[in-house]
Amino acid sequence: MEFIKNDLIDEILRKYFATFQLTLDTAEFVPSKHGKRIHAFIFKNMKQKFREINREYRRKKTGGEATSLRASPPD
């Protein structure tokens, strides 16, 4: 399977904005305090998906295995 980062990012943004649009329909009935919490939750999940894409992109770019930033222990 070919990994195309920009297509995945576009799909995440489409889903995020579709979800956000659904919350706008209820803005008149839901208190703003709860609306802000819902929007924060949606945004948090979107950032998590971006992190997953970037992690996978780095893994593919480096040749398979994720590289560790820690130094190897001395022998």
In a domain, 67, yes or no: no
Model confidence, pTM:
0.59
In a domain, 75, yes or no: no
In a domain, 12, yes or no: yes
Share of the chain above pLDDT 90, in %: 3
Task: Tell me the pLDDT of the chain averaged across its residues.
Answer: 77
Asked whether the predicted pLDDT for residue 41 surpasses 80, the reply is yes
User: 22-31: per-residue pLDDT in tens?
Assistant: 877 776 777 8
Q: How far is CA 18 from CA 25, 41, 57, 75, in A?
A: 11, 14, 25, 53
* The residue to which tokens 């994720």 are assigned: 66
Domain hosting residue 55, numbered range:
5-61
Q: How many domains does the chain have?
A: 1
